[in-house]
């Protein structure tokens, strides 16, 4: 008995048709992964710093303004993390649309791929801006804190 092909109309896709696209997408996804990793690291570090100031007998004495600024930094790093995760989602989704487009060559897959790539690009840009803004707030807060001592 011969095996039955479940998808008789599924065309073969040559590796050179999708491999360069996957490699480029992988580099962008790795970049947003690094921003996500650094944002999460900053969130834990700032959270630890804030919690350390509440400990009795702490040598760190933050003013209320310092605490607000650190909280704002924490919030912006959290937003950057969310944007990085959204970028990863849309970038991965665009790859599935890309493979579907290579197989079917329909306008729906092409439009879906284009929309996903646009969203992924926007979220990557948003991640970069939020990450930079969070670093800016943190440096200002740290500079102000160190000028007191």
Distance CA 64, CA 50 (A): 11
Mean of pLDDT values over 143-148: 84
- HSE-CB at 42 with a 13 A cutoff on CA atoms is 28
Mean pLDDT of 36-63: 85
Is residue 76 within 8 Å of 38, Cβ to Cβ? no
What average pLDDT score do residues 129-142 get?
95
- Please check whether residue 78 is in contact with residue 85, taking contact to mean a CB–CB distance below 8 angstroms: no
pLDDT at 129 (0 to 100): 97
Domain boundaries, the chain: 17-54+65-147
- Would you place residue 2 in the very low, low, confident or very high pLDDT band (cuts 50, 70, 90)? low
Question: Coil, helix or strand for 34?
Answer: helix
pLDDT at 125: 95
Give the position of tokens 């310092």.
66
């Amino acid at each position: 008995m011969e095996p039955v092909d479940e998808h008789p109309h599924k065309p073969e896709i040559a590796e050179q048709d999708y491999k360069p696209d996957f490699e480029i997408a992988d580099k962008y996804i790795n970049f947003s992964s690094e921003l996500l990793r650094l944002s999460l690291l900053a969130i834990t570090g700032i959270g630890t710093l804030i919690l350390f100031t509440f400990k009795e007998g702490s040598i760190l004495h933050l003013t209320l303004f310092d605490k607000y600024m650190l909280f704002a930094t924490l919030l912006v790093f959290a937003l950057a993390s969310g944007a990085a995760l959204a970028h990863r989602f849309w970038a991965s989704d665009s790859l599935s649309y890309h493979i579907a487009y290579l197989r079917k060559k329909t306008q729906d897959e092409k439009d879906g791929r284009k929309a996903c790539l646009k969203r992924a690009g926007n979220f990557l840009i948003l991640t970069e801006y939020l990450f930079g803004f969070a670093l800016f707030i943190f440096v200002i807060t740290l500079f102000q804190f160190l000028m007191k001592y």
